[in-house]
Protein backbone atom coordinates (compact mmCIF):
# COMPACT_ATOMS: atom_id res chain seq x y z
CA UNK A 1 0.00 0.00 0.00
CA UNK A 2 1.46 3.33 -1.09
CA UNK A 3 1.57 6.12 1.38
CA UNK A 4 0.29 9.53 0.33
CA UNK A 5 3.82 10.90 0.39
CA UNK A 6 5.04 8.06 -1.81
CA UNK A 7 2.22 8.76 -4.27
CA UNK A 8 3.18 12.45 -4.47
CA UNK A 9 6.83 11.53 -5.02
CA UNK A 10 5.83 9.19 -7.84
CA UNK A 11 3.72 11.92 -9.40
CA UNK A 12 6.57 14.42 -9.19
CA UNK A 13 9.01 11.90 -10.63
CA UNK A 14 6.68 11.15 -13.52
CA UNK A 15 6.04 14.82 -14.19
CA UNK A 16 9.68 15.85 -13.98
CA UNK A 17 10.61 13.05 -16.38
CA UNK A 18 8.62 14.97 -18.97
CA UNK A 19 11.07 17.87 -18.76
CA UNK A 20 13.88 17.64 -21.24
CA UNK A 21 17.54 18.17 -20.32
CA UNK A 22 18.56 21.80 -19.85
CA UNK A 23 15.04 22.82 -18.82
CA UNK A 24 16.25 25.46 -16.32
CA UNK A 25 18.66 27.00 -18.86
CA UNK A 26 15.90 27.22 -21.44
CA UNK A 27 13.53 28.86 -18.99
CA UNK A 28 16.16 31.42 -18.04
CA UNK A 29 16.93 32.14 -21.71
CA UNK A 30 13.27 32.59 -22.58
CA UNK A 31 12.68 34.81 -19.55
CA UNK A 32 15.60 37.07 -20.40
CA UNK A 33 15.01 37.07 -24.16
CA UNK A 34 17.78 36.70 -26.72
CA UNK A 35 21.22 37.33 -25.26
CA UNK A 36 24.11 39.04 -26.99
CA UNK A 37 25.44 35.63 -28.00
CA UNK A 38 22.32 35.05 -30.15
CA UNK A 39 22.72 38.45 -31.82
CA UNK A 40 26.43 37.77 -32.33
CA UNK A 41 25.59 34.42 -33.93
CA UNK A 42 23.14 36.22 -36.22
CA UNK A 43 25.76 38.78 -37.24
CA UNK A 44 28.38 36.08 -37.76
CA UNK A 45 26.00 34.05 -39.92
CA UNK A 46 25.08 37.13 -41.96
CA UNK A 47 28.62 38.30 -42.54
CA UNK A 48 29.47 34.76 -43.62
CA UNK A 49 27.12 35.30 -46.55
CA UNK A 50 29.34 38.02 -48.02
CA UNK A 51 31.71 36.60 -50.58
CA UNK A 52 35.40 37.62 -50.49
CA UNK A 53 36.27 40.98 -52.12
CA UNK A 54 32.82 42.32 -51.34
CA UNK A 55 34.12 45.91 -51.07
CA UNK A 56 35.85 45.68 -54.46
CA UNK A 57 32.65 44.49 -56.11
CA UNK A 58 30.66 47.33 -54.53
CA UNK A 59 33.18 49.94 -55.70
CA UNK A 60 33.12 48.50 -59.24
CA UNK A 61 29.31 48.38 -59.29
CA UNK A 62 29.08 51.96 -57.96
CA UNK A 63 31.51 53.13 -60.65
CA UNK A 64 29.46 51.35 -63.35
CA UNK A 65 26.24 52.79 -61.94
CA UNK A 66 27.74 56.29 -62.03
CA UNK A 67 28.47 55.89 -65.75
CA UNK A 68 24.84 55.09 -66.52
CA UNK A 69 22.90 58.38 -66.70
CA UNK A 70 20.31 58.72 -63.99
CA UNK A 71 16.60 58.54 -64.76
CA UNK A 72 16.17 62.26 -64.07
CA UNK A 73 19.03 63.23 -66.40
CA UNK A 74 17.60 60.93 -69.11
CA UNK A 75 14.22 62.59 -68.63
CA UNK A 76 15.79 66.07 -68.79
CA UNK A 77 17.62 65.15 -72.00
CA UNK A 78 14.40 63.82 -73.56
CA UNK A 79 12.52 66.98 -72.53
CA UNK A 80 15.26 69.22 -73.96
CA UNK A 81 15.28 67.25 -77.25
CA UNK A 82 11.49 67.53 -77.50
CA UNK A 83 11.65 71.28 -76.83
CA UNK A 84 14.33 71.81 -79.52
CA UNK A 85 12.29 69.77 -82.05
CA UNK A 86 9.14 71.75 -81.25
CA UNK A 87 11.01 75.06 -81.62
CA UNK A 88 12.44 73.91 -84.98
CA UNK A 89 8.98 72.89 -86.25
CA UNK A 90 7.51 76.26 -85.15
CA UNK A 91 10.40 78.14 -86.79
CA UNK A 92 10.14 76.25 -90.08
CA UNK A 93 6.35 76.61 -90.10
CA UNK A 94 6.65 80.32 -89.37
CA UNK A 95 9.21 80.82 -92.16
CA UNK A 96 7.04 78.86 -94.64
CA UNK A 97 3.99 80.94 -93.71
CA UNK A 98 5.99 84.14 -94.20
CA UNK A 99 7.28 83.01 -97.62
CA UNK A 100 3.76 82.02 -98.68
CA UNK A 101 2.42 85.40 -97.57
CA UNK A 102 5.18 87.21 -99.54
CA UNK A 103 4.51 85.08 -102.62
CA UNK A 104 0.76 85.67 -102.40
CA UNK A 105 1.29 89.39 -101.89
CA UNK A 106 3.58 89.55 -104.95
CA UNK A 107 0.97 87.67 -107.00
CA UNK A 108 -1.75 90.06 -105.89
CA UNK A 109 0.46 93.03 -106.72
CA UNK A 110 0.97 91.59 -110.22
CA UNK A 111 -2.75 91.11 -110.63
CA UNK A 112 -3.38 94.69 -109.45
CA UNK A 113 -0.74 96.02 -111.89
CA UNK A 114 -2.24 94.01 -114.75
CA UNK A 115 -5.72 95.28 -113.82
CA UNK A 116 -4.47 98.88 -113.65
CA UNK A 117 -2.74 98.50 -117.06
CA UNK A 118 -5.94 97.03 -118.44
CA UNK A 119 -7.97 99.97 -117.02
CA UNK A 120 -5.47 102.47 -118.47
CA UNK A 121 -5.67 100.86 -121.92
CA UNK A 122 -9.44 101.17 -121.88
CA UNK B 1 39.76 57.31 -27.07
CA UNK B 2 36.22 57.35 -28.45
CA UNK B 3 36.61 60.94 -29.67
CA UNK B 4 39.80 59.90 -31.53
CA UNK B 5 37.82 57.15 -33.26
CA UNK B 6 35.02 59.59 -34.07
CA UNK B 7 37.49 62.10 -35.52
CA UNK B 8 39.20 59.39 -37.57
CA UNK B 9 35.81 58.25 -38.90
CA UNK B 10 34.82 61.82 -39.76
CA UNK B 11 38.13 62.27 -41.64
CA UNK B 12 37.56 59.03 -43.52
CA UNK B 13 34.04 60.15 -44.42
CA UNK B 14 35.34 63.55 -45.63
CA UNK B 15 37.89 61.79 -47.87
CA UNK B 16 35.15 59.50 -49.20
CA UNK B 17 32.99 62.55 -49.89
CA UNK B 18 35.78 63.95 -52.08
CA UNK B 19 35.62 60.77 -54.18
CA UNK B 20 38.64 59.00 -52.65
CA UNK B 21 37.99 55.36 -53.57
CA UNK B 22 40.37 54.04 -50.91
CA UNK B 23 38.39 55.85 -48.23
CA UNK B 24 35.12 54.51 -49.68
CA UNK B 25 36.60 51.00 -49.68
CA UNK B 26 37.74 51.40 -46.06
CA UNK B 27 34.24 52.47 -45.04
CA UNK B 28 32.69 49.46 -46.78
CA UNK B 29 35.14 47.04 -45.16
CA UNK B 30 34.57 48.67 -41.75
CA UNK B 31 30.80 48.39 -41.92
CA UNK B 32 30.07 45.41 -44.19
CA UNK B 33 29.65 42.88 -41.34
CA UNK B 34 27.37 45.15 -39.32
CA UNK B 35 25.26 45.99 -42.35
CA UNK B 36 25.06 42.30 -43.30
CA UNK B 37 23.83 41.50 -39.77
CA UNK B 38 21.28 44.29 -39.96
CA UNK B 39 20.00 43.06 -43.35
CA UNK B 40 19.71 39.49 -42.09
CA UNK B 41 17.85 40.62 -38.95
CA UNK B 42 15.46 42.62 -41.13
CA UNK B 43 14.81 40.11 -43.91
CA UNK B 44 15.54 36.75 -42.27
CA UNK B 45 16.91 35.60 -45.63
CA UNK B 46 20.54 34.56 -46.13
CA UNK B 47 20.22 34.87 -49.91
CA UNK B 48 19.30 38.56 -49.60
CA UNK B 49 22.28 39.52 -47.47
CA UNK B 50 24.92 40.07 -50.16
CA UNK B 51 22.56 41.63 -52.68
CA UNK B 52 20.94 44.08 -50.29
CA UNK B 53 24.25 44.94 -48.59
CA UNK B 54 25.66 45.74 -52.03
CA UNK B 55 22.66 47.95 -52.84
CA UNK B 56 23.09 49.80 -49.54
CA UNK B 57 26.78 50.46 -50.08
CA UNK B 58 26.26 51.55 -53.69
CA UNK B 59 23.70 54.07 -52.43
CA UNK B 60 26.24 55.12 -49.80
CA UNK B 61 28.99 55.70 -52.38
CA UNK B 62 26.66 57.63 -54.67
CA UNK B 63 25.08 59.81 -51.99
CA UNK B 64 27.88 60.34 -49.48
CA UNK B 65 28.78 63.75 -50.93
CA UNK B 66 25.32 64.96 -49.90
CA UNK B 67 25.85 64.00 -46.24
CA UNK B 68 26.01 67.33 -44.36
CA UNK B 69 27.63 66.19 -41.10
CA UNK B 70 30.33 63.52 -41.41
CA UNK B 71 29.96 62.79 -37.68
CA UNK B 72 26.42 61.55 -38.42
CA UNK B 73 27.70 58.97 -40.89
CA UNK B 74 26.68 55.86 -38.91
CA UNK B 75 23.12 57.04 -38.29
CA UNK B 76 22.86 58.00 -41.95
CA UNK B 77 24.20 54.63 -43.15
CA UNK B 78 21.81 52.65 -40.95
CA UNK B 79 18.92 54.84 -42.13
CA UNK B 80 19.89 53.95 -45.71
CA UNK B 81 20.04 50.27 -44.71
CA UNK B 82 16.67 50.37 -42.96
CA UNK B 83 14.96 52.09 -45.88
CA UNK B 84 16.51 49.72 -48.43
CA UNK B 85 15.38 46.66 -46.44
CA UNK B 86 11.87 48.03 -45.91
CA UNK B 87 11.60 48.81 -49.65
CA UNK B 88 12.69 45.25 -50.42
CA UNK B 89 10.13 43.78 -48.01
CA UNK B 90 7.43 46.00 -49.53
CA UNK B 91 8.35 44.85 -53.06
CA UNK B 92 8.29 41.25 -51.85
CA UNK B 93 4.80 41.79 -50.40
CA UNK B 94 3.57 43.35 -53.65
CA UNK B 95 5.00 40.46 -55.64
CA UNK B 96 3.07 38.08 -53.41
CA UNK B 97 -0.15 39.96 -54.14
CA UNK B 98 0.37 39.87 -57.90
CA UNK B 99 2.04 36.46 -58.05
CA UNK B 100 0.29 34.47 -55.30
CA UNK B 101 1.74 31.17 -56.50
CA UNK B 102 5.25 32.52 -56.30
CA UNK B 103 5.10 32.49 -52.51
CA UNK B 104 6.38 28.95 -52.17
CA UNK B 105 9.45 29.97 -54.18
CA UNK B 106 9.87 33.16 -52.14
CA UNK B 107 10.15 31.37 -48.82
CA UNK B 108 12.81 28.83 -49.59
CA UNK B 109 13.95 27.41 -46.26
CA UNK B 110 17.56 27.81 -45.21
CA UNK B 111 19.63 24.84 -46.35
CA UNK B 112 20.45 22.35 -43.59
CA UNK B 113 23.45 23.42 -41.58
CA UNK B 114 23.24 27.02 -42.77
CA UNK B 115 21.85 28.10 -39.42
CA UNK B 116 23.74 26.16 -36.87
CA UNK B 117 22.77 27.18 -33.37
CA UNK B 118 19.59 26.71 -31.44
CA UNK B 119 19.86 30.28 -30.13
CA UNK B 120 20.20 31.73 -33.62
CA UNK B 121 17.28 29.64 -34.87
CA UNK B 122 15.16 30.88 -32.00
CA UNK B 123 16.14 34.50 -32.56
CA UNK B 124 15.36 34.24 -36.28
CA UNK B 125 12.01 32.65 -35.52
CA UNK B 126 11.18 35.37 -32.99
CA UNK B 127 12.30 38.19 -35.30
CA UNK B 128 10.20 36.76 -38.13
CA UNK B 129 7.08 37.22 -35.96
CA UNK B 130 7.68 40.96 -35.57
CA UNK B 131 6.79 43.83 -37.90
CA UNK B 132 9.71 45.02 -40.05
CA UNK B 133 9.66 48.38 -38.22
CA UNK B 134 10.10 46.61 -34.88
CA UNK B 135 12.85 44.41 -36.28
CA UNK B 136 14.62 47.54 -37.48
CA UNK B 137 14.26 49.09 -34.04
CA UNK B 138 15.76 46.07 -32.26
CA UNK B 139 18.54 45.72 -34.83
CA UNK B 140 19.41 49.42 -34.48
CA UNK B 141 19.62 49.03 -30.69
CA UNK B 142 21.88 46.02 -31.18
CA UNK B 143 24.05 48.22 -33.38
CA UNK B 144 24.55 50.50 -30.40
CA UNK B 145 22.46 53.39 -31.69
CA UNK B 146 21.14 55.67 -28.96
CA UNK B 147 17.45 56.39 -28.51
CA UNK B 148 18.02 59.91 -29.86
CA UNK B 149 19.77 58.60 -32.97
CA UNK B 150 17.02 56.04 -33.55
CA UNK B 151 14.40 58.76 -33.13
CA UNK B 152 16.21 60.81 -35.77
CA UNK B 153 16.54 57.79 -38.07
CA UNK B 154 12.84 56.95 -37.76
CA UNK B 155 11.67 60.56 -37.79
CA UNK B 156 9.97 60.29 -34.42
CA UNK B 157 10.42 61.30 -30.79
CA UNK B 158 12.64 59.68 -28.18
CA UNK B 159 9.57 58.89 -26.03
CA UNK B 160 7.92 57.12 -28.98
CA UNK B 161 11.11 55.15 -29.61
CA UNK B 162 11.23 54.03 -25.97
CA UNK B 163 7.60 52.95 -26.02
CA UNK B 164 7.94 51.07 -29.30
CA UNK B 165 11.18 49.48 -28.15
CA UNK B 166 9.52 48.26 -24.97
CA UNK B 167 6.70 46.67 -26.96
CA UNK B 168 9.10 45.18 -29.53
CA UNK B 169 11.21 43.60 -26.76
CA UNK B 170 8.10 42.16 -25.15
CA UNK B 171 7.02 40.62 -28.45
CA UNK B 172 10.49 39.27 -29.09
CA UNK B 173 10.56 37.66 -25.65
CA UNK B 174 7.10 36.16 -26.23
CA UNK B 175 8.26 34.46 -29.42
CA UNK B 176 11.79 33.62 -28.35
CA UNK B 177 11.94 29.91 -27.60
CA UNK B 178 15.42 28.43 -27.85
CA UNK B 179 13.96 24.91 -28.02
CA UNK B 180 11.55 25.94 -30.78
CA UNK B 181 11.18 23.22 -33.37
CA UNK B 182 10.66 24.39 -36.94
Judge whether residue A25 has pLDDT over 60. Answer: yes
Judge whether residue B167 has pLDDT over 60. Answer: yes
**How many Cα atoms are found within 13 Å in the side-chain-facing hemisphere of B160?**
11
Q: Is the CB of A46 less than 8 angstroms away from the CB of B40?
A: yes
The residue among A31, A32, A49, A64 with the most chain B CBs within 10 A of its CB, best to mutate, is A49
The per-residue pLDDT for B101 is 62
The residue among A22, A32, A42 with the most chain B CBs within 10 A of its CB, best to mutate, is A42
Give the mean pLDDT of B117-135: 87
Judge whether residue B112 has pLDDT over 50. Answer: no
Judge whether residue B114 has pLDDT over 60. Answer: no
How far CA A66 is from CA of A63, B17, B24, B131, in Å, comes to: 5, 15, 14, 34
What tens digit of pLDDT does each residue of B19-58 get?
Answer: 898 999 999 999 999 999 999 999 988 888 999 999 999 9
Predicted confidence band of residue A55 (pLDDT cuts 50, 70, 90): very high
Question: SS3 of B56, please?
Answer: helix
Amino acid sequence: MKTEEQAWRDLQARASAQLRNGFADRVIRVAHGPQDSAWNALRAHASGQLRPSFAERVIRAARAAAEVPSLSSQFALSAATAAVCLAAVVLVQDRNALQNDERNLADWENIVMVAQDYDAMQ
Amino acid sequence: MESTTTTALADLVRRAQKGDENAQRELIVAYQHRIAGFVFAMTNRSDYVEDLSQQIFIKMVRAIDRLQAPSQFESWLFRLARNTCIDQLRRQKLRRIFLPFGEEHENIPEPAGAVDTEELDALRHALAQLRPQDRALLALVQEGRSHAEIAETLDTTVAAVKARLHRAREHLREHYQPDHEN
